[in-house]
Amino acid sequence: MRVEITASALGAIRAAAGAAQPNECCGLLIGRRDSAICRITRAVAAANVADDPARRFEVDPVVLLATHRLARDAGEAVIGPYHSHPGGAAEPSATDLARARDGAAAGDVWVIVGGGAMRATLVRAYAFDGNAFAEAELAEVPES
Ligand SMILES: [Zn+2]
């Protein structure tokens, strides 16, 4: 799958990851998708309400509900979550996979920001098929 993301949405995600350090940031991706291409037009930041926000993320449920309504009213959809790994790689953790599978953190496309001095700006996208993550091509595109 190819994931296109607007420059403003990608910038918002990078900024949120930096601002949340040393905790994980989190939020939701709004856009449209078909079988081959997903286009993310907006990133909506949410408070990370996890018990251990340095190691896990949980999107504020109030924001989750409001964002679904916002997306629907715009004729778009909530594509999935984004979050950061302040000290880890930009790839799904075992916890992420478990929560994707049981629906605790649902989404067709996940965006993850890596951490650490050498990887501070690395952002990757993953498609989730209901069972496993597969890395997707992430392309920054102009605003539509
Ligand atoms: Zn994670």
Ligand 1 centre to CA of 16 (Å) is: 15
Rounded to two decimals, the pTM is 0.94
State the CATH number of the domain containing residue 23.
3.40.140.10
Q: Got the DSSP string for 61-102?
A: HHHHHHHHHHHHHTT-EEEEEEEE-TTS-SS--HHHHHHHHH
Structural domain that includes position 9: 2-141
Q: CB-based burial of residue 84 (10 Å sphere; 0-12 exposed, 13-18 middle, 19+ buried)? A: buried
CA angle 80, 41, 95 (to 5 degrees): 20
Q: How many domains does the chain have?
A: 1
Q: Model confidence over 89-142: pLDDT tens digits?
A: 999 999 999 999 999 898 999 999 998 765 556 899 999 999 999 999 999 999
- Split at pLDDT 50, 70, 90, the class of 34 is confident
CA of residue 21 to ligand 1 center, whole Å: 14
Distance, CA 110 to ligand 1 centroid (Å)?
10
Tokens 């001095």, located at residue: 117
Using the mean position of ligand 1's atoms as its centre, give its distance from the Cα of residue 77 in Å. 22
C-alpha of residue 22 to centroid of ligand 1, in Å: 14
Report which of residues 85 and 35 the model is more confident about.
85
- Name the token pair of 43: 């990133």
Contact 59, 105 (CB under 8 A): yes
Q: Give bridge partners of residue 5 from the DSSP assignment.
A: 40, 140
Q: How far is ligand 1, taken at its centre, from the CA of residue 9, in Å?
A: 19
Q: Which of 78, 18, 103, 86 is nearest to 52 (CA)?
A: 86
Q: Is the model's pLDDT at 49 over the cut of 90?
A: yes
Q: How far is the CA of 7 from the centre of ligand 1 (A)?
A: 22
Segment 1-28, tens digit of pLDDT = 999 999 999 999 999 999 999 999 999 9
Mean pLDDT of 60-87: 96
Q: What is the pLDDT of residue 117?
A: 64
Residues less than 5 Å from ion ligand 1, measured at CB? 93, 96
Residue 35 confidence (pLDDT) above 70: yes
